[in-house]
Chains A and B, each alone.
Chain A
């Protein structure tokens, strides 16, 4: 599934790469003019070699793995916790835990997928610990009516190229932060981290139909939020 979805979305043309200030609203940067490489290409052929060296005690190999994935893990942690301090703790704990348990990694998935699992568990623990009464990962009760899109309009061929990149990039962070955590986490794991439905279900302790239902709702809600933004921008 991971590879399938990479192939599905790898053909989109990207947008100009920008130097952006770092911080809360800069968890996203649009890709360069080249399409996003498939997950297998991001992994690079040497991931297995680095993991084997790190397991054998080569600290520089583990550091290379950290350098490679620290940005993605921080973004994932930010998107789940919605708090920079928590995200930093989650990232740090995840890498330390990965290092401590490296020998237990059997290589039956990509190292990055294993790291994502550790990070998601850390982030969920942080959420539950910090805000037990505010954050519910239960799916909100919604009717099918709530799913139906309204005021449907065309976005044109490439919305990424029609709006200021820095603005769009801020909007991505904003719209995803507005999503209910129950939907947000499923969207992050399935569509951004490219975990399979089954992997996502297992990680979150959900059934496959529940993951599918949440993913559909997440996608439609994000579509609606982006649509509102694009239409509002056009009318200004």
Chain B
């Protein structure tokens, strides 16, 4: 596998969806290619940084409007 092949298979590799043979080939390439190792590592970190982020609390005015609308709806008609 060459560098292009690594990029092509990158998502499946990170998602553990590559078959054993392709994974082995990719890892053999990674063992000898520092650039590809960095691409794999920094792409994994990119996903982790976003994945670890949490939503901030809802702005109070937005939350108040949401709950007012729900209250109105809940009063109107039971499910």
Contacts and interface: CB of A to CB of B under 8 A. Distances in A.
A29 B53 CA distance: 5
Given A71-B58, A212-B12, A148 B7 contact: yes
B45 interface: yes
A145 B54 CA distance: 34
A71 B79 contact: no
Contact of A172 (B45, B53, B62): B53
Interface string B38-50: 1101110111111
Interface of A: 1, 4-5, 8-9, 12, 14-15, 20, 22-23, 26-31, 35-36, 54-55, 57, 59, 62-63, 66, 70-72, 74-75, 88, 91-92, 95-96, 99-100, 102-103, 144, 147-149, 152-155, 159-160, 168-169, 172, 176, 187, 191-192, 212, 215-216, 219-220, 222-223, 226-227
Given A22-B57, A66-B66, 18 more contacts: A4-B15, A5-B15, A9-B48, A12-B51, A22-B56, A27-B56, A29-B53, A30-B52, A63-B70, A71-B57, A71-B58, A99-B74, A100-B73, A160-B49, A172-B53, A215-B11, A222-B50, A223-B39
